[in-house]
Amino acid sequence: MKDKEITIKVVRIHRFVLTVTLALIGGATLFFLTALLLLKGGEPVGPHLNLLGEYLPGYGVSWIGSIIGFLWGAAIGGTLGWIFGSVYNRIVAIQKK
């Protein structure tokens, strides 16, 4: 029997789509976690999540903080998506040579 050559085609990632997707996921996650703690209530409200305010200026466990958290989550998620897409596409380009 004749050996068959297996060809694997690696597809490049659309960096913009990955950036927007991870930005929305990151922002929505931080927003909904903060909103969940606010709706749950208790005293004190979300002391562990409130520590993110040390790294994300303006963030706190409040309704305004949830909006600021959405923006920070979107910025961080989008940045990570852009970096991952860029690195992945460079690796694919190198392997195609």
- The confidence score (pLDDT) of residue 1 equals 46
- The confidence score (pLDDT) of residue 43 equals 82
pTM value is 0.80
The CA-based diameter of the chain, rounded to the nearest angstrom, is: 73
- The confidence score (pLDDT) of residue 3 equals 56
Does the pLDDT at position 65 exceed 90?
Answer: yes
- What gap in Å lies between CA 94 and CA 7, rounded to an integer? 16
- What gap in Å lies between CA 84 and CA 18, rounded to an integer? 9
- The confidence score (pLDDT) of residue 14 equals 92
- What gap in Å lies between CA 79 and CA 94, rounded to an integer? 23
Model confidence pLDDT, tens digit, residues 11-62: 888 999 999 999 999 999 999 999 998 898 878 877 888 888 899 999 998 9
